[in-house]
């Protein structure tokens, strides 16, 4: 193989992965919430940068661990699975922390999928919080519409 082909192959391969800015470090404060009888450790995504990153590039989640997205006010919230490798369930909660909707979400079929082709998952009702957990966690723990979470000190 010529030097040109080797360099070209490296450049093409490098463009397939996330860019350096896409994987720059974003930190999340850890908090605990209680949903029914379950205490969950959550990473809190409150800033635009934290919410944008979410659970991108993660390989796994521990049992009773998730990410809680916090917004300034109730709105119809819409999520996608861009650069997300693990199947998730997302539960949407209103400003009173009451569950209004749950969606199961799967990673895209290809990391090369264009953003406009990624499936969207919406709250259907106004929500202020979204809790992402391992797919099936809410069903397995019998969490239902109307259940509410509370912060644990």
For the domain that residue 146 is a member of, what is the CATH number?
2.60.120.1140
| pLDDT score, position 45 | 98
Indicate whether 23 pLDDT > 60: no
Domain contains 2: no
**Residue 25 structure tokens:** 């470090």
Give the count of domains, the chain: 1
Higher-confidence residue: 144 or 1?
144
Distance, CA of 70 to CA of 47 (rounded, Å): 8
Stretch among 19-23, 30-34, 35-39, 68-72 having the lowest mean pLDDT: 19-23
Q: Is 12 part of any domain?
A: no
SS3 5: helix
Which residue range forms the structural domain that includes residue 100? Answer: 25-152
Q: Pick the more confident residue, 138 or 80.
A: 138
Q: Is there a domain that residue 119 lies in?
A: yes
| Rounded distance between C-alpha atoms, residue 101 and residue 142, angstroms | 14
**pTM, entire model:** 0.81
Instruction: Report the DSSP beta bridge partners of residue 67.
Output: 43, 132
CA distance 126 to 100: 8
Model confidence at 153, pLDDT cuts 50, 70, 90, reads confident
Residue 6 lies in a domain: no
Helix (H) or strand (E) holding 44: strand 38-45
Give the pLDDT of residue 17: 45
- Give the per-residue pLDDT at 114: 74
Residue 110 CB contacts under 8 Å (≥ 6 apart), including other chains: none
53 within domain boundaries: yes
């Amino acid at each position: 193989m010529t030097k040109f082909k080797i360099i070209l192959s490296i450049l093409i391969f490098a463009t397939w992965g996330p860019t350096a800015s896409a994987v720059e470090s974003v930190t999340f404060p850890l908090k605990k919430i209680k949903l029914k009888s379950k205490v969950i450790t959550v990473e809190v995504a409150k800033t635009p940068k934290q919410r944008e990153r979410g659970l991108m590039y993660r390989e796994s989640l521990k049992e009773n661990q998730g990410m809680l997205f916090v917004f300034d006010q109730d709105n119809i919230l819409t999520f996608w699975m861009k650069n997300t490798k693990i199947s998730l369930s997302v539960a949407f909660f209103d400003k009173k922390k009451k569950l209004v909707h749950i969606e199961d979400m799967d990673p895209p079929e290809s990391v090369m999928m264009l953003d406009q082709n990624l499936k969207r998952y919406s709250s259907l009702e106004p929500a202020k919080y979204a809790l992402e957990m391992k797919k099936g966690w809410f069903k397995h723990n019998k969490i239902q519409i109307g259940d509410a979470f509370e912060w644990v000190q």
